[in-house]
Chain A
Amino acid sequence: MKIPIMLKVNGEIYDLEINPWKTLLEVLREDLNLTGTKRGCDTGDCGTCTVIMDGKSILSCLLLAMEARGKDITTIEGLAREGRLDPVQETFISHGAIQCGFCTPGMILTAKAFLAENRKPTREEIKFGISGNICRCTGYAKIIEAIEAAAGVESK
């Protein structure tokens, strides 16, 4: 039985009818075709499905879409505003923090939510801030440098 639901994603309102057991990840990918949000494990262990909900980073594979009603959701597709990249996106590019790119959306959104609460983090704090996100390609060094650089930009 499908249930009507209203979701606010990237500033847009979507009226949907969904199966109530669907996760936010599934609704984003399958119903809204926002495939930038990735599925890496489906058990909340890898961080690739991270989105921002009301300013906090959350794992969309562990949240039923029904629970996202009335919340403000940002996915990777909604981070750039009016064609301008977010500073975190910019520094991920300039610091070589991207390889296969599969962790990148979740990593960027985690960093974005982390920086909103930690304006001038130390490198050690950044490491802990992203310790729920697996990256198998980079060894994290360039990701940490990118986030540090973005913090410099944002705090200006």
Chain B
Amino acid sequence: MEDFKVIGKSVVRLDALEKVTGKARYSADFRVEGMLHASVLRSPHASARILGIDTSKAERLPGVRAVLTPDDVPPVSISPHLGDQYILCLDNFVRCVGDPVAAVAADTVEIAEDAVKLIKVEYEELPAVFDGEEAFAKDQPVVVHPDLPSYKVLTGMPIRLDPERANVCQTYKVRSGDVERGFKEADLVVENKYTTVRMQHCQLEPHVVVAWFEPDGNLTVMSSNQMVYDLKSVLSKVLKLSPSRVRVLSSYIGGGYGGKGGVRAEPIAALLARKAGKPVSLIFTREEMFVFGGHRVPYSIDIKDGVKKDGTLTAREMRVILAIGLYSEKGVLIARRAAAGAVGTYRVPNFKLDSYSVYTNLPMTGALRGFGCPEIQWPIEQQMDIIAEKLGMDPLELRIKNILNEGEKDASGMVTRSIGVRECLDKVSSWIGWGEKPVRPVGPWKTGKGIAIGNKSVIAGSTTVVIVKVWPDGVIELRYSAVELGQGIKTTLAQITAEQFGIPVEQVRMVSGDTDICPFDFGTVASRSLVHYGNAIVIACDDAKQQLYKMAAPKLGAWDLDTREGRIFVKEAPEKSLKITELFTPMGVPLEGGEVLGKGAFTGSSAREDPETGQSERSVFSYSHIANAVEVGVNTETGEIKLLRSGIACDVGKAINPLIVEGQIEGGDSMGVGSALYEEIVFNSSGGVVNSKFTDYRIPMATDMPLISNSKTIIVEVAEPEGPFGAKGVGELSLVSTAPAIANAVYNAVGIRVKDLPITKEKVLTAMRKSGKV
């Protein structure tokens, strides 16, 4: 094991002091001179044709500076993969309640909101479809995008429609072995249907943007966006500005969880700023966040498993319908990624998966922490328990029996490596006392235990670039474009940089948040930042070091050099050394080259999948693994579920900063608890969101979590060979198997199996009464 100075240490977060003193600035804390405030008019109908828009009254309201209607919007898609979304509703049709129709910029936000109410829109209401399976059917009642076959495909990502199903905008297949043969070989076949629901990210900071045009006509945007370069590219496309003329600034972000990983309010603000000739700020209200701030994609999953008497899985067949809502955004990508979640843990010799992204007349969905993987573990991990019970096996044993081995090919054709799930499972099951009785129930409460495992992968084939600058005093500056949204990336990357030069993190200067000076990055999404940045930083630091060594070599009379604590020394004779400062003139200029700038670019390996079988040697960059073990109490009189004990183990490859990793694990797990027990965006019969407030959309509060003494966070480190120092990402991993673990524990407690998220007390109580269990 290498001896690290900074890596693996829980150094204090670089953003901590700013954040506890209120000095940390977020996008809404910036005020630009002359800034106007915007508000958006949203469709009250789930499906309608716009016959006319009258903005005259709104325009006459004092203080209104610009009004934007669909006529002002360029016919260019802001959706990343498929040309199905304009800045304001597409082609004068609205397709969900909340679809943006018009926008106003005014002197104050109150005036803008009043003006929005003065815009008269004449609609011709049309039939709508809300249910994913209805929309998926061959005789679907409504086609959400009749022009879908003619929409442009915007990226290299293949889009495969289904000629028989008009609402399907993406299909994805995995085929391995022969499932029919697998089911024939099975002693037991277990077939079930599971569903998940829409969740909202509930970042405490809403979507925020300030946009303005510089005197030379260039656009600057300050945004709470997780994908700054993606935003830059979309804005340059829709505003017809060369990318060199669009600058994206970012600051601290008050929570992302994937929900800020796409274009949100930015193009509206930019168009209003152009029209008004002034800076425009647009901040989503909390209600807008709940309605149109993005939702987790609801899944409906049919799963059929074949298994031998001894517990060996022989076949698994899954049909997954993703009801993505009215625009494709990330939904077409999630259909692909969900497959990785399904193949990354277990050995399934005969495997078949079909996933479909389906349009409905409900709001936009997109990435929400896990990108399809938690939704896939929800059925799989309950199936494992059902199978175990039917075979009379211990669910722990059944899982261990079927976990992929190092070096084995998974069902998508990728060779398994650095799989730490067994170690995770051993550690949590031992902590929870698996096999021992749960805590003794009191009164109407019954108690039970449950386990679940899972994986989350890092996207393959994406790129990150960094620049490292060496200052005369030995300070190392890192220029990067990842955003700090709480995950601790600023600190973690500073640690990696510090390690390369053998200096403390205080000697690293972190520069980010400006696309004019910070290089390209795919985005702060998909648990990819650490592995991509870590590798890019090592390359950039090596580049900078070589430049320093070239200047130092003649002075030291040797070429085999190293650096530590601001000194460069001869490897074989460390006493022969010089200070980095000595390589600079008194004016602070390096003796050669004018600047010491190291560049590092890293692109994760990838291999394209076969379109018919989904087989690929590298469909993802890496897998991280997880195991949960929980103990719950279920009240047999009310159905209430209490999380009594909770153990979670995450195989993260290498914890660069263990305290930060623990925070990621515990935070994700609590989001998992929310997804398991409470969280669901509820719609009325017209497609409107019913619960658009924190009081109506319940997320976990401190009182919902088990006492610290009753919870356990375990870090497992099975090194990923291509990850920096073995690291492989943790941000999304931590919630993938919380919900099925809780579902399994509820079953263990009261014999009720809830297959539809969330596991509410109403569902549990109703099922208990129906089954006569109470």
Measured between beta carbons, the chain A residues less than 8 angstroms from B708 are 123, 141, 144-145
Q: Could you tell me the distance between the alpha carbons of A148 and B257 in the complex, rounded to whole angstroms?
A: 28
Question: Which segment of B336-344, B402-410, B631-639, B655-663 sits at the interface?
Answer: B655-663
For the complex, is B707 an interface residue (Cβ under 8 Å from A)?
A: yes
Question: In the complex, how many angstroms separate the beta carbon of A137 from the nearest chain B beta carbon?
Answer: 5
Q: Is B16 an interface residue (CB 8 A)?
A: yes
Q: Is there a chain A Cβ closer than 8 Å to B23's Cβ?
A: yes
A23: interface (CB < 8 Å): no
Docked pose: A104 CA to B24 CA in angstroms: 10
The stretch of A1-9, A38-46, A64-72 in contact with B is: A38-46
Cα of A123 to Cα of B703 in the assembled complex, Å: 10
| A134 with B21: CB separation less than 8 A | no
Contact with A along B257-277 (1 / 0, CB 8 A): 100000000000000000000
- A93: nearest chain-B partner, CB-CB: B16
The 0/1 profile, CB within 8 Å of B marked 1, for residues 69-104 of chain A is: 000000111011000010001001110101111111
Does B670 lie at the interface of the complex (its beta carbon under 8 Å from any beta carbon of A)? yes
Closest to B672 in A: A139
Least distance between A81 CB and chain B CB atoms (Å): 12
A139–B669 touching, CB < 8 Å: yes
Residue of B nearest to A91 (CB): B20
Q: Does chain B have a CB within 8 A of A136? A: yes
- What is the bound-complex CA distance between A37 and B703, given in angstroms? 24
C-alpha spacing A77/B25, complex, angstroms: 13
Query: Judging by beta carbons under 8 Å apart, are B702 and A143 in contact?
Result: yes
Q: CB-nearest residue of chain B relative to A124? A: B707
Interface residues on chain A, number (Cβ under 8 Å): 54
Closest to B713 in A: A141
Known A-B contacts A40-B205, A145-B708; A96 and B22 likewise in contact (beta carbons under 8 Å)? no
Asked whether any CB of chain A lies closer than 8 Å to the CB of B666, the reply is: yes
- Annotate B177-216 by CB proximity to A: 1 below 8 A, 0 otherwise: 0000000000000000000000001111110000000000
- How far, in whole Å, are A11 and B21 apart by their CA atoms in the complex? 16
> From residue 361 to 410 of chain B, which have CB atoms closer than 8 A to chain A?
none
List the A residue with the shortest CB-CB distance to B662: A96
Q: Is there a chain A Cβ closer than 8 Å to B286's Cβ?
A: yes
Which of B10, B201, B703, B713 has the most chain A CB within a 10 Å cutoff?
A: B703
| 10-55 of chain A: CB within 8 A of chain B | 29, 34-43, 45-46, 48
* Contact A141/B286 with A45-B694, A98-B15, A103-B204 known, Cβ cut-off 8 Å: no
Q: Are A36 and B488 in contact (CB under 8 A)?
A: no
- Asked if B711 is at the interface of the complex by the 8 Å CB criterion, the answer is yes
Chain B hits for A94, CB < 8 A: 12
Q: Does A108 contact B663, Cβ atoms closer than 8 Å?
A: no
Q: Which residue of chain A lies nearest to B674 when distances are taken between CB atoms in the complex? A: A136
A142 proximity list for chain B (CB < 8 A):
662-663, 666
CB distance from B546 to the nearest CB of A (A): 36
Contact (A139, B670) CB under 8 Å given A75-B22, A102-B254, A127-B703: yes
Bound complex: CA A141 to CA B703 (Å): 11
Contact partner of A93 (CB less than 8 A), chosen from B12, B256, B693, is B12
Any A CB within 8 A of the CB of B253: yes
- Closest residue of chain A to B252 (Cβ to Cβ) is A101
Across the interface, name the chain A residue whose C-beta is closest to B20: A89
Q: Which A residue's beta carbon lies closest to that of B668?
A: A139
Judged by a CB distance under 8 angstroms, whether B428 is at the interface is no
Q: Is B29 an interface residue (CB 8 A)?
A: yes
Give the contacting residue for B29; candidates A35, A41, A143, A144; CB below 8 A: A35
Chain A nearest CB, measured from B283 CB (Å): 8
Residues A96 and B670 in contact in the complex (CB < 8 Å), given A38-B254, A130-B702: no
From known contacts A100-B252, A142-B663, infer whether A38 and B693 are also in contact, taking CB-CB under 8 Å: no
Q: Kindly state the separation between the CA atoms of A25 and B687 in the bound complex, as whole angstroms.
A: 34
Q: Does B28 contact A (CB under 8 A)?
A: yes
In the bound complex, how far is the Cα of B202 from the Cα of A144, in angstroms?
A: 21
B479-499 to A contact mask, C-beta < 8 Å, 1/0:
000000111100000000000
Q: Which residue of A lies closest to B286 (CB)?
A: A41
Interface centre among A34, A85, A100, A131 (most CB of B within 10 A): A100
Residues of A near B253 (CB, < 8 A) are 100
Q: Is the CB of B702 within 8 A of A40?
A: no
User: Is the beta-carbon distance between B669 and A101 smaller than 8 angstroms?
Assistant: no
Distance from A40 Cβ to chain B, minimum over Cβ atoms (Å): 4
Q: Shortest CB–CB separation between residue A86 and chain B, in angstroms?
A: 9
Q: A139-B666, A140-B670 are in contact. Are A36 and B23 (CB under 8 A)?
A: yes
A43 to B286, CA, bound (A): 9
B15 close to A140 (CB less than 8 A): no
Q: Which A residues are CB-close (under 8 A) to B21? A: 36, 76-77, 79-80, 85, 89
Q: Are A43 and B693 in contact (CB under 8 A)?
A: yes
Q: Are A131 and B15 within 8 A (Cβ)? A: no
Residues of A within 8 A of B487 (CB): 99
Smallest Cβ distance from B316 to chain A, in angstroms? 32
Assembly CA distance A41 to B708 (angstroms):
28
B667 within 8 A of A: yes
Of A36, A96, A100, A103, the contact of B660 (CB 8 Å cutoff) = A96
Whether B601 sits at the interface, judged by CB under 8 Å, is no
> Is residue B17 contacting chain A, with contact meaning CB distance below 8 A?
yes
Which residue of A99, A105, A136 contacts B202 across the interface (Cβ within 8 Å)? A136
Residue B80 at the chain A interface, CB threshold 8 Å: no
Q: Which of A40, A42, A92 is packed against the most chain B CB atoms within 10 Å?
A: A40
- Find out whether the CB atom of B711 lies under 8 angstroms from the CB atom of A141: yes
**A83-B622 Cα distance, complex, nearest whole Å:** 45
CA distance A106 to B588 in the complex (A): 44
A128 to B285, CA, bound (A): 28
Contact between A137 and B663 (Cβ–Cβ < 8 Å)? yes
Residues on A with C-beta less than 8 A from B16 are 92-93, 98
Distance, CA A101 to CA B285, complexed state (A): 19
Partner of A40, one of B286, B666, B669, B705: B286
**Is B701 an interface position by the 8 A CB rule?**
yes
Contact indicator A136/B702 (Cβ below 8 Å):
no
Contacts of B252 in A (CB 8 A): 100-101
User: Would you call B202 and A137 a contact (CB within 8 A)?
Assistant: no
Q: A34-B22, A137-B255 are in contact. Are A96 and B703 (CB under 8 A)?
A: no
Q: How far is the CB of A26 from chain B (nearest CB, A)?
A: 10
- Look across to chain A and name the residue whose beta carbon is closest to the beta carbon of B659: A96
Tell me how far the C-beta of B665 lies from the nearest C-beta in chain A, rounded to whole angstroms.
8
List the B residue with the shortest CB-CB distance to A97: B663
**Interface pair A108/B20, CB less than 8 Å apart:** yes
Of all chain A residues, the one with the shortest Cβ separation from B203 is A136
Question: A100 contacts which chain B residues (CB < 8 A)?
Answer: 203-205, 252-256, 485-486
| Residues on the B chain within 8 Å of A136, using CB | 201-204, 255, 257, 667, 671, 699
Find chain A residues with CB under 8 A from B702 CB: 126-128, 130-131, 133, 135, 140, 143-144
Which 5 pairs between the two chains have the least Cβ-Cβ distance?
Answer: A36-B22, A100-B486, A102-B254, A139-B670, A99-B486
What are 10 pairs between A and B in contact, CB < 8 Å?
A45-B693, A77-B22, A89-B20, A98-B20, A100-B252, A127-B702, A131-B701, A136-B202, A138-B667, A143-B702
Q: A101-B254, A131-B701, A145-B708 are in contact. List 14 more A-B contacts (CB 8 A).
A: A36-B21, A36-B23, A46-B204, A89-B20, A93-B16, A100-B252, A100-B253, A127-B703, A136-B201, A136-B255, A140-B670, A140-B700, A140-B702, A141-B711
Residues of A within 8 A of B (CB): 29, 34-43, 45-46, 48, 75-77, 79-80, 85, 89, 92-94, 96, 98-105, 108, 123-124, 126-128, 130-131, 133-145
B residues in contact (CB < 8 Å) with A: 10, 12-13, 15-26, 28-29, 201-206, 252-257, 285-286, 485-488, 659-660, 662-663, 666-671, 693-695, 699-703, 705, 707-709, 711, 713
